[in-house]
Amino acid sequence: MSLPNPLIPGFNPDPSIVKVGADYYLATSTFEYLPGIPVYHSTDLHSWSRIGHVVDREGQLDSRDVPTLGGAWAPTIRFHDGLFYVAVTDAMGRGTLVFTATNPAGPWSDGLAIEGAVGIDQDLAWDGDGTTYLTYSGLDTVTGNAAEHGGILQVRVDLATGKALEEPRSIWSGTGLMFPEAPHLYQHGGYWYLMIAEGGTERGHSVSIARGTSPAGPFEGNPANPILSARSTERPIQNTGHGDLVQTPDGGWAMVLLGMRPRGMTRAFSALGRETFITPVTWEDGWPVVEPVILNPRPGGGSFEDGFATDELDGGWIAVRRFPGTFASTAKNPGVLTLAGDGSGLDDPRPAFLGRRQQYQVETISALVDAGSTAHPGSAGGLAVRYDEAHHYSIELSGTTVTARARIASIEQTWTHPVPDSPVELRIETRQPGHGTGFGHLSSDTIALQAVIDGEALTLAELDGRYLSAETAASFTGRVAGVFATRGSVAFEWFRSTGREPN
Ligand code: 6LW
């Protein structure tokens, strides 16, 4: 089996997968971004397309004021008795939720809040008599205090009422590494298997497994644990963990999991955040044996172009704590995207920022922007690349001035330059790190903020990409790059991104 890796590039952490007949469905975490929890579909585990989102309307998550790194954590997608289920934590929001749908493309239900099971990374499993098991990681997302971590917990639950049918029971919680999480239960070959992640989602991340004869335990750990980890290795894909098992089309097995592609030296930085990878699994003596995760990018890179020709926005656009439709529209003026600025900037919790996951380590985005004094007086907007409120680089047009801006923690720097009246093409290029002395070559990438003036790209600033990486920013997300407006109404005639893997 030679599958591409990353399997689903860019910010796509905590993958969960289900096979229904010949179809595969995979869901990932989205935290404070909306629409939330994309559902990807494949029939061969090789080509994937996004078919919808679990969270596509107000009220399903409590996103409006969710803190950075709160929101949709670690969905588990399952199919039972004709219905699709997604169990997820709305961290620092509604808590434990179960969504259902007859069609995984949506619409999904409003989300049933589960009482009596506080934690993260909820898994759903059903035994032969229809009992529903909710298995989860006992991390209190309000305190996030590892010392108070409750290990792996389980309750029998009534999905008609959302009530736990018993007090949470402690079950097998790994080999003793920190943050036992991401539990999944599988029935296979006469056993129930409890697979978890442990070691934390950073470089120590790993997957361990136990088995027993009942989904409620007791479970006996695999002497070969952890069955997967990249820690302290030179493998290009690090942080591997948070896996889910699935049967391949040829009857074999595979694990989807999260990993990162850090660049640098012993300190290294992952520009794209946690991505979805896949690796083959075989069974030996009743235990899964997991191959190391091999880097195998799809050849040729990729590109995306949006001419904003349709009323509905492309489903790859995401926004922060608000749905794109609250500030972005192509309907009023077909062929043009109009963003309504409301005074909020990229430092604010709900910017008018419409972004896409950066999917390649070398990627350029560009757009033709009109924030000119004639058609859009008093407006300001442009292109941005963002991790969170405190980590973003942008290039903003307002009238006949373009301003490049870097915000890293509480430090901010700007560079300005005059430009002709709108429209003006703006660009953000992420490049391979430079060579030679200095710190540049130890980073993930460099990011150039540019305006095209008289056909020439003028670089206002070239910045170190490590400050927009998973290791530096506080959020659990990844790089998201796109368009924004801070004031007035800003028009975009087209948006392009082209990317490739580094040489
Ligand atoms: C998720 C936990 C983890 O809930 O990080 O890597 C948390 N694993 O399992 C957020 O993605």
Work out which ligand 1 atom sits closest to the CA atom of 74: 4
* Ligand 1: centre distance to CA 355 (Å): 22
Q: Is 253 exposed, middle or buried (0-12, 13-18, 19+ CB in 10 A)?
A: middle
Q: Give the separation between CA 29 and CA 90, rounded to whole angstroms.
A: 10
Work out which ligand 1 atom sits closest to the CA atom of 239: 6
Ranges of the chain with pLDDT below 50: none
Query: Phi and psi (nearest 5°) for 252?
Result: -80, -165
> Does 91 sit in the ligand 1 pocket, CB within 6 Å?
no
Q: Which two tokens stand for residue 17?
A: 């997968």
pLDDT of 442: 87
Work out which ligand 1 atom sits closest to the CA atom of 73: 4
> Does 53 sit in the ligand 1 pocket, CB within 6 Å?
no
Angstrom CA distances, 174 to 74, 209, 286, 311, 484, stand at: 19, 7, 18, 50, 44
> Taking Cα atoms as reference points, which of 280, 300, 209 lies closest to residue 45?
280
Residue nearest to atom 10 of ligand 1 (CA): 73
> Taking Cα atoms as reference points, which of 498, 414, 503, 430 lies closest to residue 464?
430
Work out which ligand 1 atom sits closest to the CA atom of 120: 4
> Does 203 sit in the ligand 1 pocket, CB within 6 Å?
no
> Does 69 sit in the ligand 1 pocket, CB within 6 Å?
no
Angstrom CA distances, 145 to 69, 120, 475, stand at: 15, 13, 17
CATH class of 302-500: mainly beta
> Taking Cα atoms as reference points, which of 51, 95, 57 lies closest to residue 73?
95
Q: How many residues does the chain have?
A: 503
Q: Where are the domains of the chain?
A: 16-247, 302-500
Residue nearest to atom 5 of ligand 1 (CA): 201
> Does 13 sit in the ligand 1 pocket, CB within 6 Å?
yes
Q: Give the separation between CA 184 and CA 134, rounded to whole angstroms.
A: 10
Strand 132-137 to strand 120-126: parallel, antiparallel, or no bridges (unpaired)?
antiparallel
Asked if the 16-247 domain carries CATH number 2.60.40.420, the reply is: no
Work out which ligand 1 atom sits closest to the CA atom of 182: 9
* Ligand 1: centre distance to CA 71 (Å): 12
Identity of the residue numbered 13: P
Dihedral of the alpha carbons of 480, 481, 486, 491, in degrees to the nearest 10: -140
> Does 73 sit in the ligand 1 pocket, CB within 6 Å?
yes
Give the CA diameter of the chain: 73
* Cβ atoms of 279 and 295 closer than 8 Å: no
Which sequence positions are flagged as catalytic? 14, 181
> Taking Cα atoms as reference points, which of 229, 135, 228, 144 lies closest to residue 179?
144
Ligand 1 pocket check: which of 97, 201, 270, 476 to mutate, most ligand atoms within 8 Å of Cβ?
201
Q: Give the separation between CA 86 and CA 110, rounded to whole angstroms.
A: 11
Q: Give the separation between CA 217 and CA 153, rounded to whole angstroms.
A: 11
* Eight-state DSSP code of residue 215: T
* Ligand 1: centre distance to CA 181 (Å): 7
pTM above 0.95, yes or no: yes
Q: Give the separation between CA 24 and CA 492, rounded to whole angstroms.
A: 36
* Ligand 1: centre distance to CA 491 (Å): 37
* DSSP run (H or E) holding 51: strand 49-55
> Does 90 sit in the ligand 1 pocket, CB within 6 Å?
no
* Ligand 1: centre distance to CA 141 (Å): 11
* Cβ atoms of 104 and 86 closer than 8 Å: no
Q: What is the DSSP string of 478-495?
A: --EEEEEEEESEEEEEEE
